[in-house]
């Protein structure tokens, strides 16, 4: 781990005025950045932190200068470009909606203060939106252009507010019909987001907290303050509906020197034993975050990577695996780990739909679209790991038209074991020609194999196009569709507002595109089944949406496809962990002709700090009649 930058010179310390001027509150909470700008020449003396924070998300003094604000330093951020310290008033008011803490921003300059210093601070009240106001996130009330005088050292820190199942409400946020909740009076006893906002900048703590999101490369993780909240079988927190956001989740990062106090490398289900405490902050990558001045010790719960059973001779196994931006520029160790997973953990599936296969020059934006080298390297790694001699099929996209990492030209592809299945090649498939379904004496056949489904439809703008392939297993045709729907993050298009947005409920801007994509795939499946209602169709991939979403409803419409995942216990229906929520974005759906396949999500990545991909693979085993 690299050491953090050394402390630099302090900001100027200034003497304070003592005149109290009373200013009117900001005229409008949504426009608090502009409210009161005309009055910035006036000064506000004698206010305390709870006066600055107010009882809504926006300070009533936003844009105004304040002087002589008293408090105790509770934490210092002495690294990065957003340095500063947290100040907390040890004399709280009686209003639970008003926070007693605030962040004092010093930019790239490390403040020469330490925890326990008692200060009086002057500065300008500001509302900062991490990620920009347009990202939809909430704002962080802070003081900028600050000066201060030190009045003492070694003061006892205010007691940390304990986050528990009783102190953090189950209800997540007030419903504003998609509008802003900024101007609403906080109800910290009613909503989780209001509770956190009422503690913004204050010391908070969790004790013996269970990890629900593994340690990232940025030295942070997610814990839950409610160990019973929608617990998964392996120790995570299950995200099962838009109305169950799991408000007990909170992000944890560290204010400690990583060289002397390394951040714990934890997996889902581990615990931070003891007390973890520090100021409560807010960022764009997870919302409210505990910036630890004291870190619990990792208690290893010995989470193990799973292995699925081998398919039987008369079972067709079809898997899906998002290999996360794989290209020849990827480190060899990742190829080896992916290959070992396919062979050992997935028991060498007969067919694999692979997502995020990049072109042969990876993120280099040089016009290359072929991916033969990428797939050859993966197939060679599988053979080296003791697996089958996989062959592959794919179609090169048009340069820069399928979204993903710029220059990477990600696409979906098929790997298949020719010793177990055969691929029916039919010419005509290319980046822009749509595949159709022909009727060969009552047997469906693809007009091109492989072929892309409606590749020129506007629904696929800046998104990967599905790939259809015709296989044969034990003499019977099987139609497999590889998918990678548009991202929730938006990519080239507008992404969704976060769960912790100031707009509630948050708008899912990316969802309509995925719904249209799902309709196209559903329509194609119907074409196949119109020729033969008992045709075996398997649609797998990263659909970038939840089992309960309109997108998955559109895929299943009319009974064209069903979700075998539904037969798993709810606590096992996940293969992706995002901001401490265990959720399902990858799916394998089957037509009625596939019967009742056995479904398995093989947990090998998403719950672990050490990942070969951020997705877990899934597999179905189909016994054909």
DSSP string, 147-198: EEEEEES-PPPPPPEEP-TTTS-SS-----TTSB-TTSPP-TTT-HHHHHHH
pLDDT at position 300: 98
Taking only the tens place, the pLDDT of each residue in 242-277 is 999 999 999 999 999 999 999 999 999 999 999 999
Confidence label for 40 from pLDDT (cuts 50, 70 and 90): very low
Confidence label for 44 from pLDDT (cuts 50, 70 and 90): low
Is 321 inside a domain boundary? yes
The 3-state secondary structure of 484-514 reads ECCCCCCCCCCCCCCCCCCECCCCCCCHHHH
H/E element, 553: helix 550-556
Taking only the tens place, the pLDDT of each residue in 543-553 is 999 999 999 99
Closest CA to 469 of 500, 445, 489: 445
Query: Do 528 and 574 belong together in one domain?
Result: yes
Structural domain harbouring 225 = 161-299
Of the three residues 241, 269, 299, the one that is the final residue of a domain is 299
pLDDT at position 46: 85
Closest CA to 449 of 479, 485, 412, 421: 479
Query: Do 125 and 263 belong together in one domain?
Result: no
Query: Do 437 and 547 belong together in one domain?
Result: yes
Taking only the tens place, the pLDDT of each residue in 317-350 is 999 999 999 999 999 999 999 999 999 999 999 9
pLDDT at position 28: 35
Is 496 inside a domain boundary? yes
Query: Do 385 and 481 belong together in one domain?
Result: yes
CATH number of the domain residue 58 falls in: 2.40.50.140
Q: If you compute the radius of gyration of the chain from its CA atoms, what whole number of angstroms results?
A: 27
Segment 133-143 shows an average pLDDT of 96
Query: Do 199 and 70 belong together in one domain?
Result: no
pLDDT at position 20: 25
pLDDT at position 43: 53
Is 34 inside a domain boundary? no
pLDDT at position 16: 28
Strands (E) across 285-442 are located at: 287-292, 297-299, 315-326, 351-357, 391-393, 411-416, 422-423, 437-440
> 């020129």: which residue's tokens?
456
Query: Do 327 and 278 belong together in one domain?
Result: no
Confidence label for 522 from pLDDT (cuts 50, 70 and 90): very high
For residue 230, pLDDT over 60 is answered with yes
CATH number of the domain residue 283 falls in: 2.40.50
Taking only the tens place, the pLDDT of each residue in 99-119 is 999 999 999 999 999 999 999
pLDDT at position 491: 77
- Measured distance CA(449)–CA(439) in Å, rounded: 15
| CA 161 vs CA 100, 136, 170, 204, 276: distances in Å | 11, 27, 17, 4, 11
Is 17 inside a domain boundary? no
C-beta separation of 509 from 496 below 8 A: yes
Is 20 inside a domain boundary? no
Name residue 319's beta-bridge partners.
352, 619
Query: Do 272 and 327 belong together in one domain?
Result: no
Segment 374-379 shows an average pLDDT of 98
pLDDT at position 39: 38
pLDDT at position 13: 33
Segment 88-93 shows an average pLDDT of 97
Closest CA to 219 of 263, 251, 261, 259: 263
Give the count of domains, the chain: 3
For residue 59, pLDDT over 80 is answered with yes
Taking only the tens place, the pLDDT of each residue in 24-34 is 333 333 333 33
Mean pLDDT of the chain: 93
> 């802070």: which residue's tokens?
142
Q: What percent of the chain has pLDDT over 90?
A: 92
Query: Do 124 and 219 belong together in one domain?
Result: no
Query: Do 426 and 575 belong together in one domain?
Result: yes
- Measured distance CA(338)–CA(345) in Å, rounded: 10
For residue 41, pLDDT over 80 is answered with no
Query: Do 289 and 386 belong together in one domain?
Result: no
Is 35 inside a domain boundary? no
Query: Do 177 and 58 belong together in one domain?
Result: no
Is 2 inside a domain boundary? no
Segment 415-441 shows an average pLDDT of 98
Segment 219-234 shows an average pLDDT of 97
- Measured distance CA(149)–CA(623) in Å, rounded: 76
- Measured distance CA(209)–CA(46) in Å, rounded: 39
Is 516 inside a domain boundary? yes
Segment 423-451 shows an average pLDDT of 98
For residue 42, pLDDT over 90 is answered with no
CATH number of the domain residue 587 falls in: 3.60.10.10
C-beta separation of 358 from 408 below 8 A: yes
Of the three residues 116, 133, 152, the one that is the final residue of a domain is 152
Of the three residues 270, 299, 328, the one that is the final residue of a domain is 299
Query: Do 450 and 496 belong together in one domain?
Result: yes
pLDDT at position 9: 30
């Amino acid at each position: 781990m690299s050491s953090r930058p050394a402390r630099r010179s302090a900001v100027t310390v200034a003497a304070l005025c003592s005149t109290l001027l009373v200013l009117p509150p900001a005229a409008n909470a949504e426009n608090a950045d502009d409210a009161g700008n005309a009055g910035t020449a006036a000064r506000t003396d004698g206010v305390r932190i709870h006066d600055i924070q107010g009882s809504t998300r926006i300070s009533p003094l936003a844009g105004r200068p304040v002087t002589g604000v008293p408090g105790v330093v509770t934490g210092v951020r002495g690294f990065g470009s957003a340095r500063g310290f947290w100040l907390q008033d040890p004399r709280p008011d009686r209003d639970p909606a008003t926070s007693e803490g605030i962040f004092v921003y010093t930019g790239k300059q490390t403040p020469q203060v330490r925890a326990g210093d008692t200060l009086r601070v002057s500065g300008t009240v500001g509302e900062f939106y991490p990620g920009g106001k347009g990202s939809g996130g909430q704002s962080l009330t802070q003081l900028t252009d600050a000066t201060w005088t030190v009045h003492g050292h070694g003061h006892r820190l205010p007691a940390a507010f304990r986050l528990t199942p009783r102190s953090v409400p189950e209800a997540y946020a007030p419903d504003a019909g998609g509008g802003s909740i900024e101007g609403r009076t906080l109800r910290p006893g009613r909503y989780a987001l209001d509770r956190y906002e009422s503690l913004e900048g204050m010391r908070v703590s969790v004790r013996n907290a269970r990890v629900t999101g593994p340690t990232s490369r940025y030295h942070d993780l997610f814990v839950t303050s409610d160990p019973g909240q929608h617990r998964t079988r392996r120790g995570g927190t299950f995200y099962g509906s838009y109305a169950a956001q799991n408000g007990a989740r909170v992000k944890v990062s560290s204010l400690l020197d990583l060289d002397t106090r390394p951040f714990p490398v934890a997996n889902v289900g581990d615990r931070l034993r003891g007390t973890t405490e520090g100021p409560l902050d807010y960022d764009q990558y997870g919302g409210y975050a505990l910036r630890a001045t004291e870190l619990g010790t990792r208690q290893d719960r010995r989470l193990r990577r799973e292995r699925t059973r081998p398919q039987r001779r008369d079972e067709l196994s079809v898997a899906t695996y998002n290999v996360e931006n794989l290209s020849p520029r990827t480190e060899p160790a990742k190829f080896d780990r992916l290959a070992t997973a396919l062979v050992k953990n997935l028991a060498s599936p007969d067919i694999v739909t692979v997502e995020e296969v990049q072109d042969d020059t990876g993120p280099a934006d040089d016009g290359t679209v072929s991916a033969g080298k990428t797939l050859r390297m993966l197939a060679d790694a599988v053979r080296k790991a003791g697996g089958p001699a996989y062959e592959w099929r794919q179609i090169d996209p048009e340069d820069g038209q399928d979204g993903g990492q710029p220059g990477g030209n990600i696409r979906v592809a098929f790997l298949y074991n020719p010793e177990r299945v055969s691929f029916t090649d039919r010419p005509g498939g290319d980046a822009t020609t749509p595949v159709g379904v022909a009727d060969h004496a009552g047997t469906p056949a693809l007009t091109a194999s492989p072929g892309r489904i409606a590749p020129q439809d506007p629904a696929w703008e800046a998104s990967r196009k599905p790939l259809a392939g015709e296989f044969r297993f034990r003499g019977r045709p099987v139609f497999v569709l590889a998918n990678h729907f548009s991202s929730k993050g938006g990519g080239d298009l507008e992404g969704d507002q976060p769960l912790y947005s100031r707009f509630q409920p948050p708008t899912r801007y990316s969802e309509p595109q995925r719904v249209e994509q799902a309709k196209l795939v559903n329509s194609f499946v119907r074409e196949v089944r119109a020729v033969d209602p008992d045709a075996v169709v398997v649609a797998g991939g990263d659909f970038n949406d939840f089992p309960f979403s309109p997108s998955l409803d559109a895929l299943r419409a009319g009974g064209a496809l069903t979700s075998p995942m539904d037969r798993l216990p709810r606590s096992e229906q996940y293969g992706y962990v995002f901001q401490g929520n265990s959720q399902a974005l990858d799916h394998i759906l089957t037509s009625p002709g596939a019967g009742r396949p056995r479904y398995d999500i093989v947990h090998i990545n998403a719950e672990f700090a050490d990942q070969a991909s951020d997705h877990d693979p899934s597999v179905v085993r189909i016994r054909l009649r």
